[in-house]
Structure 1
Amino acid sequence: MPSIIKTKLAIAGALLLLLFSSIATAATVTITNVRLPSGTPFDLTITTPGAGSIFANGHNVTRPYAGQILLDTVEYGTLATWCVDDLHTIYLGGHYSYTTGILQTDSSGSTQANSNPLSGQQIHDVMALATYGNQLLASLPSGLNHDIASGQVQAAIWAVIYGATVTATGADISGVSALTFSQGIANLIALAPSLSPGNAIALFNLGPDGAMLSQVLVGNFVPEPSTLLLMGIVLGGALLRKRSPV
């Protein structure tokens, strides 16, 4: 392939990366409904070590409110997301306006600026678990196994975000014990570094002053139709140039 064609294709590729980058940091997501179709069948306790830690005395999450959160949106249809901020609230059935961005903190403060920064490994593992969780749940039929997987992925994400231990309590359910459920959480945390983060992106609901108004979420982002059209134009132009005589 002539070097000039390679250059043109490289430029086209750079433009596509630029498009994805701008979408990832600036898109508006208008949420018309918040759903939690499958949540953990156990009660959870999130505990961080050390005095003064975020959840030093334990933070309880009652069943079923830990699992994949589905957002019905105006721009992108239904988005499958996960909570990366258990210190703020998002209400089932609620209407919100979110903006896409990059996950950088644990959202422990009133704003991102006064929250604790996350390490590169934490960010990777959270995004990877979100991508893996969405893929896993898409492959499972509704029922107990779906609920268990949903709760375990969410718990693992919280554990990574807060450097926490997440334990399950409650009676056995169809032969599945809280201990088995907790071991599944640990297995996911250990698996996360080897997983791909895919196209997971963060969603922020912030006030004009930067204050966090509801939970920060992460999910797999899909470009809007107009962006896909623009991508087609860019690629089409590159292919036409490739066929033209040099």
Structure 2
Amino acid sequence: MPNLMKINLAIISAVMLLLFGFITPATATTLTVTNVRLPSGTPFDLKITGGIFGSNVRSVTHPYAGQILLDTQEYGTVATWCVDDLHAIYLGGHYSYTTGILQTDNSGGTVSGSNPLSGQQIHDVMALVSYGNNLLYSTPAGPNHDLISGQIQAAIWGVIYAATVTAISGTDPVGALAFSQGVVGLRALAPSLSPGNAFALFNLDANGLILSQVLMGSFVPEPTTLALLGIGLAGAFLRRRRIA
């Protein structure tokens, strides 16, 4: 197994939007992750302020903010994003993830012990996940790919934590400012986007304890594999909640 590198602030929630019905415990799907990859990440260090963090400042070092690819035994590569700041996932790691519904920010030791999300937050996260995956799929590898990957991830964190996410760079302040403005633009765009086929992934023990980062992802491009997973439109029943 390759050397493990912690992906700081890179947790992604696990909600599966199935095409023809709501997810229930009986239809939950398990994915055996054989490798965790971060092919592209932000060119800037990031800081997260406000929201649930209050006056505390959380930070993530480049390039560890961006799309995370999971190689799975069951469905090939699944493109995911971090929706969990307080748990870890490791590059090269092996995990067992189960699909479920995104309901909280997963900031606690368990899903139920975390802050509930509003229906708008859930929609916007799912929309950014689907939009980001499709956008990166059509963008060639290179600086633009890294920039988009970092901005999508930053926007997701901003929505999840009701916080402000900005880029920091002493050598490229203009680029960092443009990056931060792009994140604001993505958050403003999210309500108008479709949640697509986004889904959540949880790695929990028998008592519901979160063992590794909760991820949220989708298949790219629109896959026939979704039918195999029994995926159905869940967005309609998502209830509005407030962050405590």
Q: Specify the TM-score bucket, using the shorter chain as the normaliser.
A: 0.7 to 0.9
Percent of aligned pairs with the same residue?
68
Amino acid at match of 1:97: S
CA distance in 1, matches of 2:212, 2:178: 32
How far apart in 2 are the matches of 1:182 and 1:170? 11
Partners of 1:178 and 1:24 lie apart in 2 by 46
Amino acid at match of 1:17: F
Distance 1:154 1:225 in 2: 23
Contact 2:97–2:203, Cα closer than 8 Å, also in 1:
yes
The structural deviation recorded for 1:25 is: 5.1
CA contact (8 A) 1:30 1:96 kept: yes
Q: Counterparts of 1:188 and 1:130 in 2: how far apart (Å)?
A: 11
Closer/same/farther in 2, CA of residues 90 and 25 from structure 1, 3 Å limit: farther
Letter in 1 for 2:95: Y
Corresponding residue to 1:196 among 194, 197, 200 = 194
CA distance in 2, matches of 1:101, 1:30: 15
Asked if 1:92 corresponds to 2:91, the answer is yes
Match status 1:30 vs 2:29: no
Paired residue secondary structure (1:21): coil
Letter in 1 for 2:45: D
- 3-state SS, counterpart of residue 71 of structure 2: strand
Alignment counterpart, residue 175 of structure 2, candidates 157, 174, 177: 177
Shift of 1:142: 0.7
Q: Summarize the alignment of residues 213-224 of structure 1 with structure 2, pairs less than 5 Å apart.
A: 213-221=211-219, 224=225
TM-score (normalised: structure 1): 0.79
* Contact persistence 1:23–1:223 (CA under 8 A): no
Give the letter aligned to residue 189 of structure 2.
L
Match of 2:20 among 9, 17, 39: 17
Tell me how far apart the structure 2 counterparts of residues 78 and 157 of structure 1 sit (CA, whole Å): 21
Q: What is the aligned length?
A: 210
* Structure-2 residue corresponding to 1:48: 50
Higher relative contact order (CA 8 A, sep 6+): 2
Change (3 A) 1:31 1:226: same
Structure 1 residues 76 and 205: alpha-carbon distance in aligned structure 2, compared to 1, 3 A threshold:
same
- More helix as a share of residues: 1
Q: Structure 2 CA distance, aligned partners of 1:73 and 1:101? A: 17
Provide the residue aligned with 1:227 in structure 2. Answer: 228
Shift of 1:87: 1.0
Provide the C-alpha distance between the structure 1 equivalents of 2:190 and 2:54, rounded to a whole number of angstroms: 22
Match for residue 130 of structure 1?
A: 129
Distance 1:219 1:122 in 2: 16
- Matched to 1:156, the amino acid is A
TM-score calculated relative to the size of structure 2: 0.80
**Corresponding residue SS for 1:56:** coil
Q: What residue ranges of structure 2 are gaps of 5+ in the alignment? A: 1-18, 232-244
Q: Deviations over 1:79-126 (max 9, x none)?
A: 000010011100000000000001000001100111000000000000
CA deviations over 1:16-74 (Å, ceiling 9, x no partner) = 724x735995000100000000000000001124xxx4353110100000000000000
Q: Is the 8 A contact 2:23 2:100 kept in 1?
A: no
Give, in whole Å, the separation in 2 of the partners of 1:131 and 1:101: 16
Find the aligned partners of 1:197 and 1:172 in 2 and give their Cα distance. 36
Instruction: String of CA shifts for 1:159-196, please: whole Å, max 9, x gaps.
Output: 000000001001455x9610000000000000000000
SS at match of 1:81: strand
For 2:41, the equivalent position in structure 1 comes to 39
